[in-house]
Structure formats: structure tokens, C-alpha cells
Structure 1
């Protein structure tokens, strides 16, 4: 099973999610979105499956630092470019379980998603 966790290593929620996966003895790849940019095609799939309101964390510091024009772009096709330019805008962590996605960490939701695969 191919599992990737997207996030940043110093995020408390990402650390909690990674620890949970390790405790469940689930092998996964961690993708640091700051160190290794996420391809536009991958972000486009996230937005298609989950929607921009789910993928973009509008309570984040990164969101508050954007101007009003940039915030408006987050709800259009420009959201892909915006997430590439500001990777910390994404709701973290984002789980990719063989093409099924979940944004944010919820152990019950993740368990359900992993069991379906």
C-alpha cells in the first residue's frame, strides 16, 4: 500500500499523525512540502477531490499574511499556484492513501480510509 503524508516536520499535528501511523505499524513516506515542492498536478487532484475550502487552512498564519486579492485566488484555479508559492497554506497533514485523500488529522477518519485500501 502506498501512503504519503504531506506536511512540515515542525507542525505539532503532523508530528502527532506521524507518531500515530508509526504506532499502527503503517509504513508511509513523509513529504516535507517546504523542502520538496508539491507538483501542480498533485495539488490539482487534492483540490478536485477535497475542494479548496478543505485543502486551504484559512485559520493559518500563512492565510492571514496574504492580501485580499491573494485570498480571493484561493477559491479559483489559481489555488494551485498559491499553494505552491505558500505550502504552509495547506491544511496539515494531508494523507494520500493510494489516491484517496484526507486533510487534517483525525485518527478515526484515517483508520477508516486505511481500512478501505
Structure 2
């Protein structure tokens, strides 16, 4: 299992802390240090849709000029933008054998990893 994100993001920190506290093994991939390939973004988009990958609530999106935002008319443009500005990817991205989860919700992680 691999978790993608930015180390100083509070939501990513919460997810990493939860995984550690619950002894769930993972590999961490830091967007800022390692980037994310267009191929990986295309794979994720095929699973959850590019609309969910693009975090329009974040500061990076809000700081974009209107002209740039207007160019995001489909998957191709969105993924190119996410590739160039990976801090706009909804995070963390949890990639595992049976799927992909965006964001951190403790209840979801419990359902995935703590089968009582």
C-alpha cells in the first residue's frame, strides 16, 4: 500500500498518524519531493474521475487566475495542471490493492483496515 501526499499537509499528517497508530504498513510518496507522473494521474482519474482529484477547495486553486481556471475543460487539461501543480491534488491519495481513497476520513480507514 502506498500513500501519496505532502508531508506538511495537516490532512496527510492525520492519515499517516492513524496508519502508524493502527500498525498498518505503508510506503509514503511525497508529491513535493518525488512528483507524480501523468501516467499515475491518468490511472487515478480512471478509478475516481479527474474531478475528484482536483482540489478546488485548496489555496493553490484559489490563487489561480480566472483565465487558467477557464482552461480546465476536461480530463486532459486537469491532469496536465495537476502534473504541473501537484499541491492541487486532493490528498492524501491512498492506493492499495483493491482501490483508491482520496482524503482522510477516520471511519473509512477503520472500515478498510480494522476488520473486527
What TM-score do you get using the length of structure 1 for normalisation? 0.87
The structure-2 alpha-carbon separation of the partners of 1:42 and 1:114, relative to structure 1 and needing over 3 Å to count, comes to farther
Q: State how 1:72-91 maps to structure 2 within 5 Å.
A: 72=70, 73=72, 75-91=74-90
Q: Which runs of 4+ in 1 moved over 4 A?
A: none
CA-based RMSD:
1.8
Query: In structure 2, what is the equivalent of residue 108 of structure 1?
Result: 107
Question: Which protein is bigger by CA-based radius of gyration?
Answer: 2
CA distance in 1, matches of 2:5, 2:36: 10
CA distance in 2, matches of 1:45, 1:54: 13
Tell me if the contact between 1:97 and 1:114 (Cα under 8 Å) persists in the aligned partners. Answer: no
Q: TM-score, normalised by structure 2?
A: 0.87
Give the structure 1 partner of residue 45 of structure 2: 47
Change (3 A) 1:34 1:79: same
SS at match of 2:32: coil
**Equivalent residue pairs, number:** 114
Stretches of structure 1 that go unaligned for 5 or more consecutive residues are: none
Q: How does 1:66-77 map to 2 (within 5 A)?
A: 66-72=64-70, 73=72, 75-77=74-76
